[in-house]
């Protein structure tokens, strides 16, 4: 049965970890649901992993919706979060609510996620949450702010920076977010934020003490090999296995071993 936000809150109270993976397509989502993941994020990281962009900046609403719909079909009984792409919520509250609504109305996502913890972003969170859409915040290493951060760099590494992150997290919670993702921060900062917040606090590259864990499925499968963050544990070498199989097929066809009469 599909878990709801109430189930996730109850899991946190019981000290049970929430398991979260990204997924971008029908088949991956199907296997993730069969394996029992609690949530699937249709992340704008699909821009890097599936579409071959260097950053997430070019990803559009239309691209996100196509992938969210495919994931919904593959995992009808899993909580799916649609990631709001760059410039789909930054301009105004109206734009943010309209685009968040497309994720829930057209793609049947259960929630949306957006990046940042500044005052303007918190206004967007408040506006989206006020129309009844479950909203996940995302702070720390936020790829849509990579230009301002000077690249994909760990965040919250000084006492001041950690305090600023905690302030952002509290502001996001006050604005009405139902959960928050903390990315690329020292373990102790992930732990501190999880302790201080009453909403579920998920982490990616934020240590082991958050309420749950997210990984990009293509990193943990060894499928995306352009770059693998240090904190990733690889559970497979899918890319290498695909290349081996493709090579064997090439050899077989060229040598006349396939097809056979």
**Does the footprint of ligand KIV cover residue 183 (CB under 6 A)?**
yes
Identify whether 183 is a catalytic site residue.
yes
In angstroms, the CA 48 to CA 224 distance is: 9
**Does the footprint of ligand KIV cover residue 40 (CB under 6 A)?**
no
Q: Which of 220, 173, 181, 186 lies closest to 204 in space, CA to CA?
A: 181
Number of residue whose CB is nearest ligand KIV: 43
Nearest approach, Cβ of residue 250 and ligand KIV (Å): 33
**Does the footprint of ligand KIV cover residue 64 (CB under 6 A)?**
no
Nearest approach, Cβ of residue 1 and ligand KIV (Å): 25
Q: Which of 81, 90, 82 lies closest to 63 in space, CA to CA?
A: 82
Give, as one character, the DSSP assignment of residue 18: E
**Does the footprint of ligand KIV cover residue 219 (CB under 6 A)?**
no
Query: Which one of 204, 206, 218, 221 is in contact with ligand KIV (CB under 6 A)?
Result: 204
CA 232, 238, 242: angle at the middle one, nearest 5?
155
In angstroms, the CA 13 to CA 188 distance is: 20
* Contacting range for ligand KIV; rule: CB under 6 A; set: 41-49, 93-101, 121-129, 226-234: 41-49
**Does the footprint of ligand KIV cover residue 211 (CB under 6 A)?**
no
Collapsing DSSP to helix, strand or coil, 224 comes out as coil
In angstroms, the CA 149 to CA 39 distance is: 28
CA Rg, the chain, in Å?
Answer: 19
**Does the footprint of ligand KIV cover residue 107 (CB under 6 A)?**
no
**Does the footprint of ligand KIV cover residue 168 (CB under 6 A)?**
no
Per-residue tokens: 227: 């770059």
* Contacting range for ligand KIV; rule: CB under 6 A; set: 25-33, 38-46, 238-246, 250-258: 38-46
Question: How many residues touch ligand KIV (CB under 6 A)?
Answer: 11
In angstroms, the CA 228 to CA 243 distance is: 18
Query: Which one of 12, 18, 20, 22 is in contact with ligand KIV (CB under 6 A)?
Result: 22
Residues at the contact surface with ligand KIV, assessed by CB under 6 A: 22, 41, 43-45, 83, 181, 183, 204, 214, 216
Catalytic positions are 183
């Amino acid at each position: 049965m599909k878990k709801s936000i109430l189930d996730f809150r109850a899991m946190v109270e019981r000290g049970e970890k929430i398991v979260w993976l990204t997924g971008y397509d029908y088949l991956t989502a199907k296997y993730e649901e069969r394996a029992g993941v609690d949530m699937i994020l249709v992340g704008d990281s699909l821009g890097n992993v599936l579409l071959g962009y260097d950053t997430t900046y070019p990803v559009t609403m239309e691209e996100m919706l196509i992938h969210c719909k495919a994931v919904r079909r593959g995992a009808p009984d899993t909580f799916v979060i649609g990631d709001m792409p760059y410039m789909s919520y930054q301009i105004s509250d109206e734009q943010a609510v309209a685009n968040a609504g497309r994720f829930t109305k057209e793609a049947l996502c259960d929630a949306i996620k957006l990046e940042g913890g500044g005052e303007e972003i918190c206004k967007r969170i408040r506006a989206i949450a006020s129309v009844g859409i479950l909203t996940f915040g995302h702070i720390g290493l936020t790829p849509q702010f990579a230009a301002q951060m000077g690249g994909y760099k760990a965040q919250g590494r000084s006492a001041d920076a950690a305090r600023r992150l905690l302030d952002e997290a509290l502001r996001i919670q006050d604005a009405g977010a139902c959960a928050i993702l903390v990315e690329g921060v020292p373990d102790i900062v992930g732990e501190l934020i999880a302790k201080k917040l009453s909403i579920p606090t998920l982490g990616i590259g934020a240590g082991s003490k958050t309420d749950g864990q997210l990984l990009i499925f293509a990193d943990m499968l060894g499928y995306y090999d352009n770059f693998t963050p240090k904190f990733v544990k690889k559970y497979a070498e899918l890319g290498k296995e695909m290349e081996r199989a493709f090579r064997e097929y090439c050899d077989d066809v060229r040598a006349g071993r396939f097809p056979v009469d």
